[in-house]
Amino acid sequence: MIAWTIYITFAAAILVIAAPARFARWTALSATAADLLISLIAFFRPAADPAHYTTLVRVPWIPTLGMNYQLAVDGVSLTMVLVTSLTAVSAVLFSWEVQERRNEFFFWLLLVVAGSFGVFLSADLFLFFVFYELVIVPKYFLIAIWGSTNKEYGAMKLTLYSFFGGALVFLGIIAAYVAAGSLDFNELARFGFDPHLQMWAFPVLFLGFAILAGAWPFHTWAPTGHVAAPTAGSMLLAGIVMKLGAYGGLRVAMNLFPEGFHVWSKWIAVVAVIGIVYAAAVALRQRDLKFVIGYSSVSHMGFVLLGLAAANVLGVSGAVLQMFSHGVIGALLFALVGMIYHRTHTRDLDSLAGMNLRRMLPFTTFAFVLAAAASMGIPGFSGFAAEVTILIGAWKTFPVAVWITGAGMVLVAAFTLRILRRAFFSDQIATSPEAAVAYSPITFAEKAGATLLLVTTLAAGLYPKLLLDRIMPAIETMRFIQPNG
């Protein structure tokens, strides 16, 4: 049943490009809403035990070469599919007013979503890679056509980084396929790869994935890409695409090459911690609101990497929870920035300071305060649940990293408070002549999209057990978990 998310979204993409433009947004909305419904049902009433990686479909695809069309699902995939459809619905809602070449826009948007569903559900290495690379092209067009600041540079940079990561992943996949003679995730996860192979294949594969996850020092595509992208594009990038990398690292790199992972995990932790602190520090110095959010994405993805590096059930489960949580919060923050930019036509913090946004855009201010709180890791929001789980998990493996990260979290709070104060609660209101401009009201679609994400982050923050009950059993059965973890 959950496999239908892929088919519905692909079908909707084709429908959107073939039908007249006026049907585009409704088609996209109904398709993504159907995806959300399906993934909610699949999440709350899983057809099979979420602890096991259960095959849904297995059809021979290119039989002579052992390639199958194979989909499978466990708790981790369920969580990722859920966050994908949540982000997708709200991204469609936030693109409601897109006028320029509307059907093409929704076509590319739906392709990103469909490809991501494919990545999260495929259980065949070849199929996985097909979907993984398929996401790159629509991203390029979304940014290059509908983007804003420096869009061509941003689109190009993002695509080149993606292709570079893709080439490394390709090499790792080929190595695994040649050594094991199979492409089936379940078979590969049982195969005993030669330790020497693991020693070099793991870093190649993981690095390829980490580039897409925005890991330091290969993160620079993320802020520029986010800034250049249209609102929905940034939402998809932060909410889904960066997760593809982290998910690939977990599902493919760590599961296939556990010994290589254990050798390299401390380096992953080092990179993760540098990423968390460095990106937060850079965010503190940005003048463009979207750059701040872009760097905060990199910082939050650092937590995911740290959780993965912890190599125990708590750490890795926390990482998956953080992928969900950051998917929702990141998308929400970009959506709100887009909401502001659409009306004020600026994202410069100094200009925004004089615009009296808290009076002019009260809903946005309200939502932004909540989103900022979630992003800072205030208890009650999903970010806190995820980050605490990660830090407890990492404490067992890398106590020093947890100390440094703790300091980093102060920086996260600092830059978040800084943008809140500068953009919304500045006291230079009276001096600005632009203060009197009346902005177009916040539309119902925008409110609905923002509310959906806000409710989700609150729900996941107040009752994280809901997600962890699905995630932890699945992590426990994974191969790289140390017996004493």
Partner 1 sequence: MITLLILIPLVGAIVVSAARFGNPRIVALIVNVVSALYALLLWQRFDVHSGGMQLLERHEWIPAIGAEYLLGIDGLSLLLVLLTSLIIPFALMSGKPDRGLCALMLFTQSALYGTFTAQNFVLFFLFYEMSLIPSFLLIKIWGGKNRDRAATKFFVYTFLGSVAMLLAFLGIYLVRGTFDFATLTGMARGGLLGGTARWFAFGGIFLGLAVKVPLFPFHTWLPDAYETAPTGVSMMLTGVLSKMGVYGFIRLLVPLFPNEIRAAGPWLLGLAVCSIVFASLAAWAQTDLKRMVAYLSINHLGYCLLGLFAITSSAVAPAAPDSQAALAGVFVQIFNHGITAAALFYWVGLLEERRGARGINDFGGLMQRAPLFCAWMSVAMFSSLGLPGLNGFIGEFLIFKGSFATAAPFTAVAVLGLLFTAIAFLRAMQALFSGPLTPNSASLPDLYRREKLVIIPVTLLMFAIGVAPQFIFNVFNSTVANVAQLLS
Q: What angle separates helix 258-284 from helix 289-310, to the nearest 10 degrees?
A: 150
| Residue 144 binds partner 1, judged by CB under 8 A | yes
| Residue 400 binds partner 1, judged by CB under 8 A | no
From residue 457, how far is each of 207, 219, 285, 378 by CA, in Å? 29, 25, 27, 11
Q: How far apart are CA 416 and CA 289, in angstroms?
A: 10
Distance in Å, CB of 450 to partner 1, minimum: 31
Distance in Å, CB of 167 to partner 1, minimum: 5
| Residue 133 binds partner 1, judged by CB under 8 A | yes
Q: How far apart are CA 292 and CA 279, in angstroms?
A: 9
| Residue 363 binds partner 1, judged by CB under 8 A | no
Backbone angles phi, psi at 60, to 5 degrees: -60, 135
**How remote is the C-alpha of 325 from its chain's centroid?**
9
Distance in Å, CB of 289 to partner 1, minimum: 25
User: Contact region for partner 1 (CB under 8 A) — 34-42, 177-185, 276-284, 410-418?
Assistant: 177-185
Q: How far apart are CA 468 and CA 307, in angstroms?
A: 14
Nearest to 471 by CA among 397, 398, 339, 382: 382
Helices (H), 285-312: 289-310
198 or 344: CB nearest partner 1: 198
Distance in Å, CB of 221 to partner 1, minimum: 13
49 or 187: CB nearest partner 1: 187
From residue 376, how far is each of 13, 99, 326, 380 by CA, in Å? 36, 35, 11, 11
With H, G, I as helix, E, B as strand and everything else as coil, classify residue 424.
coil
CB 67 within 8 A of CB 127: yes
Rule CB under 8 A: choose which of 23, 96, 170, 425 binds partner 1.
Answer: 170
Rule CB under 8 A: choose which of 23, 163, 191, 395 binds partner 1.
Answer: 163
User: Contact region for partner 1 (CB under 8 A) — 164-172, 292-300, 350-358, 449-457?
Assistant: 164-172
User: Contact region for partner 1 (CB under 8 A) — 27-35, 161-169, 290-298, 451-459?
Assistant: 161-169
Touching partner 1, residues 54-83 (CB under 8 A): 61-66
Rule CB under 8 A: choose which of 21, 33, 40, 145 binds partner 1.
Answer: 145
Rule CB under 8 A: choose which of 48, 49, 97, 181 binds partner 1.
Answer: 181
Distance in Å, CB of 197 to partner 1, minimum: 10
Q: Any residues with CB less than 8 A from the CB of 323 and at least 6 apart, and which?
A: 79, 80, 83, 243, 246, 247, 304
Range 382-392 burial, b when 16+ CB lie within 10 A, else e: bbbbbbbbbbe
Distance in Å, CB of 191 to partner 1, minimum: 15
Distance in Å, CB of 60 to partner 1, minimum: 9
Q: How far apart are CA 283 and CA 348, in angstroms?
A: 14
| Residue 191 binds partner 1, judged by CB under 8 A | no
Residue appearing with tokens 């369920």 = 78
133 or 259: CB nearest partner 1: 133
User: Contact region for partner 1 (CB under 8 A) — 28-36, 167-175, 323-331, 467-475?
Assistant: 167-175
Element containing residue 232 per DSSP (H, E): helix 231-236
| Residue 104 binds partner 1, judged by CB under 8 A | yes
What are the counts of helices (DSSP H) followed by strands (DSSP E) for the chain? 23, 2
| Residue 167 binds partner 1, judged by CB under 8 A | yes
Distance in Å, CB of 163 to partner 1, minimum: 5
179 or 369: CB nearest partner 1: 179
Touching partner 1, residues 113-132 (CB under 8 A): 126, 129-132
**How remote is the C-alpha of 378 from its chain's centroid?**
20
Other CB atoms within a 10 A radius of the CB of residue 30 amount to 13
Nearest to 139 by CA among 238, 215, 35: 238
How many residues of this chain interact with partner 1, rule: CB under 8 A? 35
Distance in Å, CB of 119 to partner 1, minimum: 11
> Where on the chain is the footprint of partner 1 (CB under 8 A)?
61-66, 101, 104, 126, 129-134, 136-137, 140, 144-145, 152, 155-156, 159-160, 163-164, 167, 170-171, 174-175, 177-178, 181
